[in-house]
Amino acid sequence: MATVDDYIADQELEVQPLLQSIRETSSANAPDALERIAWRMPTYWQGENLLHFAAFKNRIGLYPGADATVQFSDRLESYKTSKGAIQLPLSKPIDYTLIADIVRWRVDQVAG
């Protein structure tokens, strides 16, 4: 994958709008971040990786880092998480407000 556009276009049709919405949410909340592909996933980078996201068969994975999953643990109780990873099941609506809050928090965290 050369670009995030390529990545999204390569995914299942029903997942593409969700990925595009995550992209738009991330871009809006990290306006100075660079968008690129890293680890074969769309990534927002601002001095370090802010967030990766990726499509899987039954979920979208968000990878904001371990500190973010601890910081937002109360809001992530209904999601499967692991160190630095959040699984958003495709069977539930995507919480874009949560994603926006995580991205803004990561921007603030990186800014110090």
Q: What is d(CA 33, CA 50) in angstroms, rounded to the nearest whole number?
A: 8
Helix runs in the chain, H state only: 4-9, 16-29, 66-71, 96-111
Question: In order of start, what are the domains of the chain with their CATH numbers?
Answer: 4-111 (3.90.1150.200)
Specify the higher pLDDT residue, 58 or 112.
Answer: 58
Give pLDDT, residue 9.
Answer: 97
For residue 20, the model assigns a pLDDT of 98
Residue 93, C-beta contacts closer than 8 angstroms, at least 6 positions apart = none
Confidence band, pLDDT 50/70/90 cuts, at residue 112: confident
pLDDT, tens only, 10-32 = 999 999 999 999 999 999 999 99
The amino acid present at 19, given as its one-letter code, is L
Which of 3, 5, 27 lies closest to 16, judged by CA?
A: 5
What pLDDT digit, counting tens, does each position of 30-88 carry? Answer: 999 999 999 999 999 999 999 999 999 999 999 999 999 999 999 999 999 999 999 99
- Residue 105's pLDDT is what? 98
Residue 1 has a pLDDT of 64
Element (H, E) at 63: strand 59-63
15 DSSP 8-state letter: T
